[in-house]
């Protein structure tokens, strides 16, 4: 997901987050940084902010381990 996401697409992602963990991340200069499960509207709309839905068996720690994601949350 990204800053140019429609309100309908955003609502779909939020609905899916009822069944799958959702994280906001910053993807900038080929680095992934965790922003947490909730962010303020200004940060959510930032160009480099993305929502990630984690699949079955995944959690933030596993994602960080597999991707080198830094924890800013």
Q: How many C-beta neighbours within 10 Å does residue 53 have? A: 14
Coil vs helix vs strand at 6: coil
Sheet with strand 70-71: strands edge to edge: 49-53, 22-28, 31-36, 70-71
Give pTM, 2 decimals: 0.81
Q: Can you tell me the distance from the alpha carbon of 10 to that of 63, in angstroms, rounded to the nearest whole number? A: 22
Q: For position 16, what pLDDT does the model report?
A: 92
Q: What is the per-residue pLDDT across 24-73, written as a single tens digit (0 to 9) for each?
A: 999 999 999 999 999 998 998 899 999 999 999 999 999 999 999 998 64
Q: Which residue do the tokens 């994280």 mark? A: 23
The predicted pLDDT at position 34 comes to 95
Supply φ then ψ for residue 29, to 5 degrees. 50, 45
pLDDT at 64: 93
Q: Looking at per-residue confidence, does 31 or 2 come out higher? A: 31
């Amino acid at each position: 997901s990204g800053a140019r996401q429609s309100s309908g697409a955003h609502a779909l992602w939020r609905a899916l987050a009822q069944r799958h963990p959702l994280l906001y991340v910053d993807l900038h200069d080929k680095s992934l940084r965790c922003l947490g499960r909730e962010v303020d509207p200004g940060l959510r709309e930032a160009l480099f902010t993305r929502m990630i839905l984690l699949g079955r068996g995944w959690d933030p720690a596993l994602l960080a381990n597999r991707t080198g994601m830094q924890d800013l949350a």
